[in-house]
Amino acid sequence: MIKLRVNNSVLDVKLEDNDATKSLVEKLENGNVIINAHEYGNFEKVGDLGFSLPRNDKSITTSAGDIVLYQGNQISIFYNSNSWSYTKIGKIQNINANELKNILGSGDVTLVLSID
């Protein structure tokens, strides 16, 4: 599990077991990862990681709470669904779509990933 901080909320993220998440955890051991994310398509927030992670893209249909790697260097957090080819990073725990949308808000948002 890692933590996702958005505005005043701290959310638990259960990670997938893949090379991307292993590399992400290695980065997080050296400090938080901060992502400036923007609204995209009325179903997700997406932002540049500032570095690349290993890709294992598969065609999936996302649901609210899914966190995926897009093009190897972008993180997307879904509050609705979309079908595309992504590498799944993890799933935000214990939250529904409406709660997540309210936390993410409208417009740009700062996401902070951490291991504590």
Closest to 27 in 3D by CA, of 77, 69, 62: 69
Distance of alpha carbon 55 from alpha carbon 19, whole angstroms: 8
Beta-carbon neighbour count of residue 99 at 10 Å?
16
Full domain range(s) for residue 59: 2-114
Calculate mean pLDDT across residues 73-91: 97
Given a contact cutoff of 8 angstroms between Cβ atoms, the answer to whether 37 and 77 are in contact is yes
Q: Report the number of distinct structural domains present in the chain.
A: 1
Question: Tens of pLDDT along 22-70?
Answer: 999 999 999 999 999 999 999 999 999 999 999 999 999 999 999 999 9
Distance of alpha carbon 47 from alpha carbon 5, whole angstroms: 14
What CATH number does residue 56 fall under? 2.40.100.20
